[in-house]
Amino acid sequence: MLFSLTGASGAGKSTVLAHLATVDWGVPVRCVEFDSIGVPDGADTAWRHGAIEHWVREALAAQAEGAHVLLCGQVPLGELLAAPSADRLDGIAVCMLHCSPDVRTQRLLHRGEPLDAIVHHNRFGEWFRAHTLDPRHAPEVITVDGPTPMRWERWTHLDAGDPAWRAEIIDTDGLTPEQVAREVESWVRSELASVA
């Protein structure tokens, strides 16, 4: 199974990943960060499509060995489901971390992000949450042409609430990093139990 811990910048993904990598899951779970393959200058949506397919193939390789992959990064649900090889996975489970624009702004300022960039991060974060709730929300943000043959038809006909469009959403505004990590760990364990 491929577990996708996702969300826009500042939601808490990288902080949580450090904890998840130390958990004894009882089964092999490889925790990886999306950007660990390297992000080129000028990386755009089309580049991200190719990177998502790379990670789906890594998850397929792990699946063949009886392991799972927990991928941490900015991977919208629609892009993950449309990755060319995604339909070969035994399962996909998505958990999106979300925070309000005010909290995201404070976190990114603390990280040293320039204020003019934070505006874009906040817009993307709000789109990200709306997209995770409803596949029909502004799909043009991600359904761009590129070299990776994405399979948008896998979900463009779905409505909000369809079982094929399923994600856990954790609001991280009022939670400590430890609390977020525990919630994500609980989500992973629940998903693992459902496929055991």
Span 88-135, pLDDT tens digits? 999 999 999 999 999 999 999 999 999 999 999 999 999 999 999 999
pTM of the prediction? 0.94
The average pLDDT across 38-50 equals: 93
Q: What is the C-alpha separation between 137 and 184, in angstroms, rounded?
A: 25
Residue 184's pLDDT is: 97
Residue 120's pLDDT is: 94
User: pLDDT at residue 196 above 80?
Assistant: no
pLDDT tier, 15 (very low <50, low <70, confident <90, very high otherwise)? confident
- In the CATH hierarchy, which fold is given to the domain comprising 2-195? Rossmann fold (3.40.50)
Residue 51's pLDDT is: 97
Whether residue 104 contacts residue 125, with contact meaning beta carbons closer than 8 Å, is answered with: yes
Element (H, E) at 3: strand 2-6
Specify burial of residue 28 (Cβ count, 10 A radius: 0-12, 13-18, 19+): exposed
Report residue 27 as tokens. 């089964």
Q: Mind listing the pLDDT tens digit for each residue in 65-94?
A: 999 999 999 999 999 999 999 999 999 999
Looking at the chain, list the stretches that DSSP marks H as alpha helix, in order from N- to C-terminal side: 13-20, 45-64, 77-82, 101-111, 115-133, 177-195
The residue extents of the domains of the chain are 2-195
Whether residue 138 contacts residue 131, with contact meaning beta carbons closer than 8 Å, is answered with: yes
Of 43, 37, 103, the C-alpha closest to 71 is 37
User: pLDDT at residue 2 above 80?
Assistant: yes
Mean pLDDT of the chain: 95
Residue 156's pLDDT is: 96
196 vs 152, more confident: 152
Q: What is the C-alpha separation between 77 and 18, in angstroms, rounded?
A: 23
Q: Where are the beta strands (DSSP E) in 18-159?
A: 29-33, 68-72, 92-98
Q: What is the C-alpha separation between 45 and 48, in angstroms, rounded?
A: 5
User: pLDDT at residue 14 above 90?
Assistant: no
Q: What is the C-alpha separation between 72 and 65, in angstroms, rounded?
A: 21
Residue 12's pLDDT is: 87
Report residue 190 as tokens. 């629940």
Whether residue 84 contacts residue 15, with contact meaning beta carbons closer than 8 Å, is answered with: no
Whether residue 146 contacts residue 50, with contact meaning beta carbons closer than 8 Å, is answered with: yes
